[in-house]
Structure 1
Amino acid sequence: MKPDSQNVTDYTNNNTIFMVWSFKDNLEVSAVFNQVCQLLINLNNSVNVRFPASRASCVMGIGHDAWLRLQLPGPLPKELVNFVPVVGGKHTAVSSKGDLHFHIRADNTSICYDMASAISDVLNPVAISTEEIHGFRYWDSRSILGFVDGTENPQGQDREFFGIVGDDDPDYKGGSYLFVQKYIHNLTAWKGLSTEQQEKVIGRSKSNDIEMADDVKPSNSHIALSNVGDELKIVRDNMPFGNMSTNEMGTYFIAYASTFSTVQKMLNNMFIGNPEGNYDSILDFSTAKTGSLYFVPTFNMIDDFSSN
């Protein structure tokens, strides 16, 4: 990770809190945003000193409309837009509102809780928390569906190359595009499939996470459509979550990328299909309930924002 970049390239931690906040209408929010920027720097510095073994961090992303409302520097990052729904013949990647997104992670749940609480105390007067997901590491990095999630993630220095903006947008070098979706799984239908049928939906073996050969893997499997080439990768930090009382079992999909166009191509493949109509069969069991795009500025940018 570049020294000035937020912690977008770290590997999956054990506990995560994802929070989406939307500013209230007709309120002055700049002063509170400045406080949030100061707090973000403080929180990251503090956990690094107090709990260095916990791999704790808090990453903040800023949405398109919030960028304009806060009068942050222009021109905007090249690919920062309001996410437009991807409408396929059967399934849709919906678009949802979000001004600020926080990705809080640590080995210790208490650290996540305290950081989320501190952020909420500052934002509550001017914003509404529209989403809060508590993710957890499920066995050996499996999703609730029972398959290992993130095997195709770039490793080592490739994480920086694919996850962080480079020289193509020099004003925002070191930043990152952040795209998130909350998926809810129909576990009743999923568990009604045999293991062999589930493996054909994913494109991998369930027990030992081995990808099917190309001549065996279905063209509408998740692996076949969500991977758009070795030269186009993203840094995923997906986390499962579950609530037994509401029967909301799902995956919070989170992608950091040097360009949003990579994520867009993946979504087009999954929802529209490649070729069109050959959509990702996992969508018959997993429904996207949210979808929003943010830009993750560098710490230098955040420090500048905090003093404006």
Structure 2
Amino acid sequence: MAREQLGICSEANLHGDYLLLTALDGQERYLRQQLAQLPALLSQLSDHFSESMVTGVVAIGASYWDTLYPNARPAGLLPFPVLESSDVLMPADSFDLLLQIRSDRQDVNYLVAQQLYQLLAPAVELVEQLRGFRYLDGRDLTGFIDAPDMVRGRLRRELALLTAEQEPHFVGGSYVYFQRFRHDIRRWQQLSVTAQQAIIGRRKSDGQWLPLAQLEPECHSLCFYQEKERSKPLPLLTQNMPFADLKQQGLLWLGFSADSTAFETLMRQRLGLSELNAGQYDRLLDYSQADLGAAFFAPSVSFLEQFDR
């Protein structure tokens, strides 16, 4: 039975590190062998720092998958969608590998990131190292609770992990989408709480929906629900984390799904390109601009380990 990467469905942590890597030419065999070792190393480190709740995920970029694993490809693995909108730009990037490390101690995150990177270092270049943190009681820097309706327990597996019926060669794997958003916090904080709530579609205090009569069709929260069934969320499991210093603030958005079409649906709805909100883009994008976006696939541990030779 395929074993999934435990970081996909794990609950929230206090700290997150994200390594975006490009692979050197001709290093595919070496990388396959090292990636096969990575889950065991991560498990050892997790046991050693058990109080820190260490988890991690490795995902392979959509444009690099065929180079690294040429004999089988997830059916829905496509490059990050490039969608045209006259109002908002959502950039598309291409990275070969994504490493995500989360724990409840930043020093442990650093140590784990260092060891995982050293495992791969002869064959990769580090393009970006991003660092996120849990803010207050799971809020974004806008002050609103992030993903207040996110499922827990076994339902997380149903959202994120492929089954044998969906893709028998990739059971336990997950489609992964990563974006970085930079917030214009100064402009956002100049809005009244009432105006902020209208943009988000929820109460700032507890994350509950505003009354139906007050919901605008372009409010942020509605973008994460089915276009024709507004009571049904899109099948996305998110693990978002703010990032910040005194000069810049934003959100590291990371989504997992067993449905390869879920993220493009979200993008279309946020950009005002769907049937129900044509021309009415997510108004939060007036205050939060994406400057990075990439698509990956996180295979099961079982898939990675079969190349340990």
TM-score bracket for the superposition, by shorter chain length: over 0.9
Preserved contact between residue 139 and residue 145 of structure 2 (Cα < 8 Å): yes
Matches within 5 A, 1:93-242: 93-166=90-163, 167-228=165-226, 229=230, 230=232, 232-242=234-244
What is the DSSP-based 3-state SS (H/G/I as helix, E as strand, rest coil) of the residue aligned with 2:307?
helix
Residue of structure 1 in register with 2:300 after alignment: 298
CA-based RMSD: 1.7
Residue of structure 2 in register with 1:45 after alignment: 43
Preserved contact between residue 40 and residue 58 of structure 1 (Cα < 8 Å): no
Deviation at 1:35, TM superposition (A): 4.5
For 1:88 and 1:152, locate their aligned partners in 2 and report how far apart those are by CA, in whole Å.
28
What is the DSSP-based 3-state SS (H/G/I as helix, E as strand, rest coil) of the residue aligned with 1:290?
strand
Preserved contact between residue 43 and residue 58 of structure 1 (Cα < 8 Å): no
Q: Can you give the 5+ residue segments of structure 1 that lack an aligned partner in the other structure?
A: none
Q: Which moved more, 1:110-119 or 1:45-54?
A: 45-54
AA aligned to 1:49 is: D
AA aligned to 1:11 is: E
Deviation at 1:51, TM superposition (A): 2.5
Preserved contact between residue 140 and residue 241 of structure 2 (Cα < 8 Å): yes
Q: Name segments (4+ residues, structure 1) moved above 4 Å.
A: none
Deviation at 1:40, TM superposition (A): 1.4
Q: Deviations over 1:156-196 (max 9, x none)?
A: 22111111111211111111011010000011111111111
- The correspondence for 1:84, drawn from 67, 81, 84, is 81
Aligned identity (percent) is 23
Q: Deviations over 1:32-69 (max 9, x none)?
A: 31343144123222133222332211100001222111
For 2:241 and 2:2, locate their aligned partners in 1 and report how far apart those are by CA, in whole Å.
25
Residue of structure 2 in register with 1:253 after alignment: 253
Deviation at 1:217, TM superposition (A): 1.3
AA aligned to 2:301 is: F
What is the DSSP-based 3-state SS (H/G/I as helix, E as strand, rest coil) of the residue aligned with 2:153?
coil
TM-score relative to the length of structure 1: 0.92
AA aligned to 1:292 is: A
Q: Deviations over 1:1-46 (max 9, x none)?
A: x97000211111111101111123xx32124313431441232221
Preserved contact between residue 153 and residue 233 of structure 1 (Cα < 8 Å): no
- The correspondence for 1:29, drawn from 23, 27, 30, is 27
Residues 305 and 271 (structure 1 numbering): CA distance in 2 closer, same or farther, change over 3 Å? farther
What is the DSSP-based 3-state SS (H/G/I as helix, E as strand, rest coil) of the residue aligned with 1:148?
coil
